[in-house]
Structure 1
Amino acid sequence: MRFAALIAAERLLPAFVALLAIAGCIGEDRAKAASPAANTEAIPLGTGFDFYVLSLSWSPSWCKAYDPQGKTDQCEAGGRRRGLVVHGLWPQYESGYPENCPSQAPRRVPEALGRQYLDLIPSMGLIGHQWRKHGTCSGLGQADYFAVTRIARERLAIPPDLLSTGQSRDLSVSSIEMAFVEINPGMTPQMIAVTCEGRLLDEIRICFDKELNFRICPQVDSRACRRSAVDLPRAQ
C-alpha cells in the first residue's frame, strides 16, 4: 500500500509543480499590475525651460472673490463643491519664467481637446488662457501639454483636509505643507508653496522636474504666503 501511494504521489508531483509555477506567474503578474513603475506613462519631455510648477487653486476662494453670483463655469451651481482645481502647469526658469512664447501650434485650444480636461481645469476660457500664456513655452504641442498636466495632477495626492469643501476653516500654512509632504513620498517643504490673497488660501504650488518628479524650487518657495494661517472658505 505504501509503495502504491508513493507511485501515485510521484505521478502527481509534476502536475503539482506545474500548478505552483502557474500560481507564481499569476502572482507575479498581479504584483506587476499593482506596481506604480509598471503603470508609469511615457511623459512627453518639454524643452526651453528648467522645471514645472503645478498650480492648484482653492476654488471657493476664487469664487468668493471674483464670482459670488456663480455665473462662470467654475462657480455655477453644478461646480460649487469643487475644492482644489488645476490653475495651470507652468514652465519655469531657475529664476523667473517664460510666458506667451512663439509657437507653431494654434493659439486656440479646440473644444474637442479642451473638454477632455474640464474635470481638472473647470472652464474652456481658463484652458485656453493657460495654453497661450504657459503651454506655448513648454516646447510641447497642445495635446502633449495637457496630457502632461493630467499626469502631474494624478501624481499628486491631496490631503483629506483639502478634499472637503463643506465648511469654512482656518489652517496653518505649515500644516498644509506638511500634510502634502506626509502623503507624497519624495516631497519636502522646499518643493511646495502655499499662497494667499489676504487671509484666503489662494493656491498651492508644487514643483516638478520635466519627468514629473518632485524637486526643490527656492524662488517659488520664497513667494509663499507670509501669514501663519489661512482661511479656507466653504463652497457656497
Structure 2
Amino acid sequence: MMLMSSSRKMTMKSSSSFVPTAVLLFGMLFLTSPLSVLADFDFYYFVLMWPGTYCEQSKCCHPTTGNRVQDFLIRSLQPTNISYETDTKCRSESLYTNKLDNLMDYLNTYWSNIKCPSNNGMSAWKSTWKTYGTCTGLDEYNYFYTALVLRHHIFDLLSILKNNGITPDISQEYSLTSIKEAIAKGIGAKPQIKCNSKNQLYEVYICLDKAALTTIECPEDLGFTCATDIYFPPVNQTKLNHTMPNFDKDFMARKIIMPISLE
C-alpha cells in the first residue's frame, strides 16, 4: 500500500506545536534523500505497543506529561536488513531533545512511556534514537517526525480494529486471523502480531519499504507465538499508578537537618 496515495486523506489536526499539513506532506519527501537511500538497511519494522497488555504484565505508571494513555503507542521504527537482523547503534550520536521542541505534543501523545516510575519519556526517546535512529541515515528530527507522521495519519490501529468489530474487552477472545485481516484491510499489508504469556495482543509489527512510503508484506515470519484466539484487554486506568522517581541512594541516606528557626 502506497502511503502517499490520494485515496487516503492526510489531514492534520490543528496544533500550534506541529507543522502545517502542506509542510508535513512536503516533508515526507526527505525520506528519499541520499542519506536515507544510502543507509545500509533494506526495510523498516514499525512497532506499535498496546498499553492495555503492558499494564496486565508489568507495573505501569502515568507519564508525567501528555494525555491519558488509551491508544496504541509507538515503540520504535527499526531499520532492518534482508537477513532479518535489525541494525542497531550505528553511530555514537546523542539525542538533543531541544531539536524536537515542536514535536513534543505529538511525542507525548503517541510515544509516551508508561514504564514506572512516572517519567517524561526522554530516556526512552534517547535510547530509541541511539539504538535505531542512528542507523537510518536520518537526523534526529526527521527520524521521530517520520514515525509520528506514520502513526498520526496512517496507522490508527484502534480505529481500524473497532471498525471491524474488534474492541478492547477483558474477557472477549478474538481470532488471531481476524485481527491480522482487519489490520491488513486498513493498511494494505498483513502485520506480525506479538502476544504475551497470557495470549494478549501486545505489539504489532508493520513492515515498510526503505523509504517508509509503502507498506509491504514482512519478508519473513518473525516467529511470535500466539494462540489461535487471543485477548485484547482494555487500558485499565486504575493500574496506571502515579509514582515519584527513584532518588540516588546516597542522597536518600543523608540526614536532613532542619533549622531551629526559620526567622
Q: TM-score by structure 1 length?
A: 0.70
The DSSP-based 3-state class of the residue aligned with 1:177 is helix
Matches within 5 A, 1:188-199: 188-189=189-190, 192-198=191-197, 199=199
Distance 1:49 1:71 in 2: 35
Q: Which has the higher helix share?
A: 1
Q: Is 1:84 matched up with 2:72?
A: yes
How many residues get paired?
194
Give the drift of 1:210.
2.4
Distance 2:9 2:87 in 1: 36
* Pair 200,138 (structure 1): closer, same or farther in 2 beyond 3 Å: same
Q: Is 1:156 matched up with 2:155?
A: yes
**Which residue identity does 1:119 align to in structure 2?**
T
Q: 1:168–1:234: 8 Å Cα contact kept in structure 2?
A: no
Q: Is 1:101 matched up with 2:95?
A: no
2:58 maps to 66
Q: Is 1:170 matched up with 2:173?
A: yes
Distance 1:129 1:114 in 2: 17
Give the drift of 1:127.
1.9
Q: Which runs of 5+ in 2 are unaligned?
A: 1-5, 11-20, 114-120, 237-263
Q: Which has the higher Rg, Structure 1 or Structure 2?
A: 1
Distance 2:227 2:168 in 1: 21
Distance 1:223 1:87 in 2: 19
* Pair 101,230 (structure 1): closer, same or farther in 2 beyond 3 Å: same
Give the drift of 1:209.
0.7
Distance 2:90 2:96 in 1: 14
2:185 maps to 182
**Which residue identity does 1:161 align to in structure 2?**
K
Distance 1:85 1:167 in 2: 19
The DSSP-based 3-state class of the residue aligned with 2:109 is coil
2:200 maps to 200
Give the drift of 1:200.
1.6
Matches within 5 A, 1:1-150: 40-41=25-26, 42-45=28-31, 46=36, 47-67=39-59, 70-73=60-63, 79-80=68-69, 82-95=70-83, 96-103=85-92, 105-107=93-95, 109-110=97-98, 112=101, 115-116=104-105, 117-123=107-113, 124=121, 125-150=123-148
* Pair 150,35 (structure 1): closer, same or farther in 2 beyond 3 Å: closer
1:6 maps to none
**Which residue identity does 1:53 align to in structure 2?**
Y
Of all paired residues, the percent bearing the same amino acid is 20
**Which residue identity does 2:49 align to in structure 1?**
S
Say which structure, 1 or 2, has more relative contact order (CA 8 Å, 6+ apart). 2
